Amino acid sequence: MSPDKVYEVEPVTRLEGHGGLRLVMSEDGTTVKDVQFNITTTRFFEKLCEGRFAEHVPRITSRICGICPVPHHIAATKSVEDAWDVEIPRPAYKLRQLFMNAKQYSSHLLHFFALAAPDFLYGPFAPAGKRNVVQIIKDLPEVGTMALKMMDFGQNICAAVGGKAIGPIAGIVGGMRKPLTAELRDGLIAQLDEQLGYVKATVDLAKKVVTDYWDVIANLAVTETYYCGVAKEENGELVHDIYDGKLVFVSPEGEKMVYDEENYMEAIGEKIPSHSYATHTYYRPKGYPDGIYRTNSLAMLNACDRMATPLAEEARKEMFTKCVGEDGKVIHNTFAYHWARVIEIVGAFETMAKYLKDPEIISTDIKTLDVQPKAGRGVGMVDAPRGTLIYDMKTDSEGICRKLNLLVATNHNIAGIEKSVKHAAKQIFEEDILSKIKLPDPMLK
C-alpha cells in the first residue's frame, strides 16, 4: 500500500469553536481518500448542569456560546417552563421574540461581515494578513462603519431587553425579569429608518457577491443532505419563526416532515465519531450516514413555506427562483448559505420593528407568580443563528436539574460540513474544478 499524503488545517479559523481539518490524499495526489473535521474540544456542559438549581441553568448554558448566548438562555428557560408546566404572560413572549430577533440580526451580521465577507471582498486566495474584517475596516471604512452600526443596534437591543448582551440574564422561569422602558423603546424606534437603509445596502452588497460568485455558488460543494429547521404552523402553512415553532425536517427531494419538539428523539440520532469530540447527528429514520443533515439559515429557508414578513418573503422567492426555479422545493448549494443568512437578516429586522412598535412591548406584566418546581421533563427549542437548538431537561421535585440533553446548533452541522468539504475536496483535487469555474476580480486588493 502506498503512503498517503496528509494535509492539515490547524486551526480552522474564523470559526466559533475549536477544530482542525485533515485531508488525506493518495501519494500521487490524484485521489481524495478521506476528509476529517476534527472538533478538538468539548466542555461537558450537559454533565456540569447536573445538580444545579434548574432556574440557574439558563445562566450557566448561556456560556456555551458567546456569539449566540441569547438562544441558549431562552431555550434553557423554555425547557424548565415545559418541565414545570409554566405559562408565561403574553408581553414576556413578545419581549423574547424581540430579544431573539435582535440576536439573530447582530449575529448574522457578524457572520456576514466578519467571518464570510473577507473571502469575497479580497478573494479566496488573498494572503491571510489581508483576508479579514480588521483589514475591511481599514480599507473600506464606510462599509465597516455601516456593519459596526448595525451590529451595535442589535447588541444594544440584546442589552436593553436581556440586561447584558453576552451571557444574558433577563430570562427567568415564568417570564422576564425586567420590563423594557418606554424611553429605551423610543430610542430604538428612532433608529429604525437608518437601520432599514443599512439593511437594504447589505442586501445590495450580497446580491453583488451572488452575481460575481454565481459560478462558485452554482457548482462548488452543491451537496445533497437532509435539512433541519424550526417553523410555526399557521393555516396549514409552515412560517419562518426562530422562537416559537415545530421541528421540521426536509428530505433531499424537498419533502417536509413535522415533529412536535418533545418528540425530537424520533427525528434525531447521535453517532459518536472516532475523530471528533462533537457528535454527528443524523435523521434517525434514514440512519447514518444517509440521514446526515444540515441546519442554520439555508436549512431554515428550506424548512419553511414562507417567511413571516414581506421584504424577507420577497427575497426568499427571488433566491429560490434563481437557485432552483419557481417550483423548486429545496436548495443544496452550500455557498447559498450566505445569501439565506442575509434574507434572515431582513426578516429579523422586520420582526424587531414589528415588536418594537407593539404597545404591549413595554408592559410590566412580564412574569407569572405561578411557578412551582416539580419532577418532570421539559423540552425547549428555538432556532439559534447557527441552527436548531434543543434543550431536554429532567428536574426533581425540588427543582434541581438531574439530567440535561443538548442538541446544539453548530453540532447539527458537523457531519454535514464534513460531507460538503469532502465533496468540495473531490471536486477541487480530482476534477480540478477551480480551473473550470469563473472567479471575479477581487473588489479589494
Q: Enumerate residues 156-215 that contact another protein by CB under 8 A.
A: 162-167, 169-170, 172-174, 177-178
Paired residues of 394 in beta bridges: 377, 403
Q: In terms of CB distance, is 6 or 436 closer to another protein?
A: 6
User: What cell was used for 46?
Assistant: 450537559
Does 142 engage in binding with another protein (CB under 8 A)? no
Q: Are 84 and 371 in contact (CB under 8 A)?
A: yes
Contact letters for another protein, residues 311-350 (x by CB under 8 A)? ----------------------------------------
Q: Are 337 and 298 in contact (CB under 8 A)?
A: yes
Q: Are 304 and 421 in contact (CB under 8 A)?
A: no
Query: Considering only residues 23, 32, 36, 70, which one is a binding residue for another protein as defined by CB under 8 A?
Result: 36
The bridge status of strand 268-271 relative to strand 280-283 is antiparallel
Q: In terms of CB distance, is 274 or 435 closer to another protein?
A: 274
The bridge status of strand 5-9 relative to strand 246-250 is unpaired
- Measured CA to CA, the distance from residue 356 to residue 156 in angstroms comes to 13
Give backbone dihedrals phi and psi of 29, rounded to 5 degrees, phi first: 75, 15
CB of 36 to another protein, least distance (A): 6
Residue 440 DSSP class: P
Contact letters for another protein, residues 403-432 (x by CB under 8 A)? --x---------------------------
Does 138 engage in binding with another protein (CB under 8 A)? yes
CB of 395 to another protein, least distance (A): 11
User: Which residues, 257 to 296, sit near another protein by CB under 8 A?
Assistant: 265, 269-277, 279, 288
Does 48 engage in binding with another protein (CB under 8 A)? yes
CB of 156 to another protein, least distance (A): 9
Length of the chain: 445
User: What cell was used for 96?
Assistant: 423574547
- Measured CA to CA, the distance from residue 399 to residue 133 in angstroms comes to 45
Q: In terms of CB distance, is 180 or 303 closer to another protein?
A: 180
Q: In terms of CB distance, is 302 or 395 closer to another protein?
A: 395
Please report, to the nearest 10 degrees, the dihedral formed by the alpha carbons of residues 112, 116, 119, 121 taken in order: 10
User: Which residues, 362 to 401, sit near another protein by CB under 8 A?
Assistant: 367, 369, 371, 373, 398-400
Query: Considering only residues 1, 3, 44, 326, which one is a binding residue for another protein as defined by CB under 8 A?
Result: 44
Q: In terms of CB distance, is 190 or 272 closer to another protein?
A: 272
Residue 45 DSSP class: H
CB of 373 to another protein, least distance (A): 8
Q: Which amino acid is at 265?
A: M
User: Which residues, 60 to 89, sit near another protein by CB under 8 A?
Assistant: 60, 63-67, 69
Residue 335 DSSP class: G
Q: In terms of CB distance, is 144 or 376 closer to another protein?
A: 144
Q: Which segment (10-18, 25-33, 305-313, 346-354) binds another protein by CB under 8 A?
A: 10-18
Q: Which segment (139-147, 203-211, 235-243, 354-362) binds another protein by CB under 8 A?
A: 139-147
Query: Considering only residues 74, 117, 133, 220, which one is a binding residue for another protein as defined by CB under 8 A?
Result: 133
Paired residues of 160 in beta bridges: none
Query: Can you tell me which residue has the cell 439565506?
Result: 340
Q: Are 340 and 301 in contact (CB under 8 A)?
A: yes
For another protein (CB under 8 A), the number of binding residues is: 87
Close Cβ partners of 356 (under 8 Å, ≥ 6 residues apart): 98, 185, 188, 189, 192
Q: Which segment (58-66, 189-197, 332-340, 420-428) binds another protein by CB under 8 A?
A: 58-66
Q: Which segment (31-39, 186-194, 201-209, 334-342) binds another protein by CB under 8 A?
A: 31-39
DSSP secondary structure of 178-234: SPPPHHHHHHHHTTHHHHHHHHHHHHHHHHHHHHHTHHHHHHTTB---EEEEEEEEE
